[in-house]
Amino acid sequence: MDFLTSLLMENATFVVGAFIVAVVLVPYLMSQKKKSKKVRVKISEAQKFGLYEPATIHPKVNKAICIGSGACITACPEQEILGKVNNQAEPIYASRCVGHGACARACPVGAIELVFGTEKRGVDLPQVFPNFESNVKRLFIAGELGGMGLIKNAILQGKEAVDYSFEDFRGAPYNRPADMVDLVVVGAGPAGMSAALQAKFLKMKFLLLDQEESFGGAILSYPRAKVVMTRPADVPMYGKIKVGTLSKEELVALWKNIVEKTGLEINTGEKALSIENTGEAFNVKTSNRNISTRYVLLTTGRRGTPRKLGVPGEQLPKVMYRLLEPEHHENQKILVVGGGDSAVEAAVAFSCQKGTNVSLSYRGPAFGRIKADNQKRLDNLVAGKKVALMMESNVKEIKTDSVTIEQKGNVREYPNDSVFVFAGGNLPNEFLRACGVSMDTHHGESRPR
């Protein structure tokens, strides 16, 4: 045995250790560093597009116990809500969270909790008792409006809320005048549909309203190919909706089938404008009439009522009122309408996607109220011909593959794939407060139920 061999044998542990460090650990650490860098870039993109601060429910990572298993990232059915930075989970596009909760269930050390709001951005949620009644007697709240997302939760809550109101109704009989109903359900999303079906089952005299010309709720107005049901749901008078992935068209067909089979009547195109408590009853003022009712169930979701342009073709599915997944619009001709930060952030987000052709239309002569950062970004994009700015312009008509815009007296038709309107509107919280419902502000706390 020569000198070198005996030296190597004597220091075998050191040599093996050095080999592992050189061949395994160093490349691993380098790849982790690279991955962290990529995630950080995505986080700053999400911040730039206004998609980082979540509007409602989202995962909060306890860094003291996160072991970086990545199970939360794999389990989440949505894209890029969480990523890994320095081997720990970190929110990226937190505003995309719809509350599946799969991340929290998958975490092996319980480091994830679903919470509402952040320290920076508080979220106001209505105070709701365990029977879904608000502080206003006989006014109930269910589904996403109460804070809890997901189709399955909405279906369950809608049914349960009606069961509780029925209990109250049976316990306190009243003389119902002929022109009065027992219950008005406002909003025909999953919660409202399920609630109305339960009311039908219980033979209550009820009305179900929705401000849109269609029914089925929020999810149908987003550019979303797939809907994931992570848990089964039981629809009153219909039966089970199984776990799995549905296309948006399948979900629409499912709700239509439920309505046909059960004979549920829905008053579409009827918006609840105000709810006045008259003591014994409520007077629900809608866009069509005044309704007198003993009970009200609000299942309006949290999207509110976006202000519409009121032009022909606005009901087309390519017209949207919220930005969620800009990358779904690669290679599209996109028109953004509006003059506030949301409109500018959306235009910036779309201009960063591959092959997009983005125009921003605003009826005013200048953006008077946007953040300085947004103005700067927009100026750069306009100078680089990444965004076409159309000041003092108005959309006149929307067709499947074009939009007609009037600008300073000239009317022109432009090819178009998607229209995003950010013209303000009414938030559900304003409506709730006007009804007398008390609210709590959440700054990152979880909520029971």
CA angle 414, 418, 422 (to 5 degrees): 105
Site for ligand FAD contains 211 (CB under 6 A): yes
Residue 325, classified by CB atoms within 10 Å of its CB into exposed (0-12), middle (13-18) or buried (19+), is middle
Shortest distance, CB of residue 221 to ligand FAD, whole angstroms? 8
Instruction: Please tell me whether residue 159 binds ligand FAD under the rule CB under 6 A.
Output: no
Residue with tokens 């997302």, as numbered in its chain: 149
Distance CA 254, CA 425 (A): 30
The single residue among 66, 123, 125, 227 that binds ligand FAD, judged by CB under 6 A, is 227
Binding piece for ligand FAD, criterion CB under 6 A, among 210-218, 307-315, 380-388, 401-409: 210-218
Helix, strand and coil content of the chain, in percent to the nearest 5, comes to 35, 30, 40
CB of 327 to ligand FAD, least distance (A): 13
Q: Please, what is the minimum distance in Å from the beta carbon of residue 241 to ligand FAD? A: 10
Of 70 and 304, which CB lies nearer to ligand FAD in the complex structure?
304
Cβ partners under 8 Å of residue 230, min gap 6? 77, 100, 101, 102, 150, 152, 243
- Under the binding rule (CB under 6 A), the answer on residue 219 touching ligand FAD is yes
Could you tell me which stretch among 33-41, 104-112, 160-168, 294-302 binds ligand FAD (CB under 6 A)?
294-302
Question: Which 234-293 positions form the footprint of ligand FAD (CB under 6 A)?
Answer: 271-272
Of positions 180, 228, 252, 427, contacts ligand FAD by CB under 6 A: 228
Output phi, psi for 19, to 5 deg: -65, -45
Distance of closest approach, residue 414 Cβ to ligand FAD, in angstroms = 27
The contact mask relative to ligand FAD for 97-126 (x = CB under 6 A, - = no) is -x----------------------------
Query: Does residue 55 bind ligand FAD (CB under 6 A)?
Result: no
What number of other Cβ atoms are within 10 A of residue 131's Cβ? Answer: 13
**Identity of the residue, 90 or 144, whose beta carbon is nearer to ligand FAD in the bound complex:** 144
Stretch that binds ligand FAD, among 11-19, 149-157, 252-260, 275-283 (CB under 6 A): 149-157
Residue 165 binds to ligand FAD (criterion: CB under 6 A): no
| DSSP-assigned states of every residue in 349-414 | HHHTSTT-EEEEEESSSS--SS-HHHHHHHHHHHHTTSEEEEETEEEEEEETTEEEEEETTEEEEE
Size of site (CB under 6 A) for ligand FAD: 36
- Where does this chain touch ligand FAD (CB under 6 A) — which range of 7-15, 105-113, 142-150, 415-423? 142-150
Give the β-pairing of 82-85 and 88-91. Answer: antiparallel
What is the C-alpha to C-alpha distance for residues 201 and 382, in angstroms, rounded to an integer? Answer: 58
Going by C-alpha positions, the residue among 386, 257, 274 that lies closest to residue 334 is 386
Q: Does 182 contact ligand FAD by CB under 6 A?
A: no
Q: Nearest 5°: phi and psi at 279?
A: 100, -80
Cβ neighbourhood burial of 41 (10 Å; 0-12, 13-18, 19+): exposed
SS3 string, 314-344, reads CCCCCEECCCCCHHHHCCCEEEEECCCHHHH
Binding mask 318-347 for ligand FAD (x = CB under 6 A): ------x-----------------------
Please tell me the distance from the alpha carbon of residue 163 to that of residue 157, in angstroms, as a whole number: 10
Q: Which of 212, 291, 377, 423 binds ligand FAD (CB under 6 A)?
A: 212
Interface pick for ligand FAD out of 54, 147, 190, 313 (rule CB under 6 A): 190
* Residue span binding ligand FAD (CB under 6 A) among the ranges 21-29, 32-40, 219-227, 341-349: 219-227
Of 185, 186, 235, 349, the one binding ligand FAD by CB under 6 A: 186
Is 17 strand, coil or helix?
helix
Triad 261, 266, 268: Cα angle to 5°: 135
Interface with ligand FAD, residue 303, by CB under 6 A: yes
Regarding 300 and contact with ligand FAD (CB under 6 A), the answer is yes
Residues found near ligand FAD in the complex (CB under 6 A): 98, 143-145, 149-152, 154, 186-192, 209-212, 217-219, 222, 224, 227-229, 271-272, 299-301, 303, 305, 324
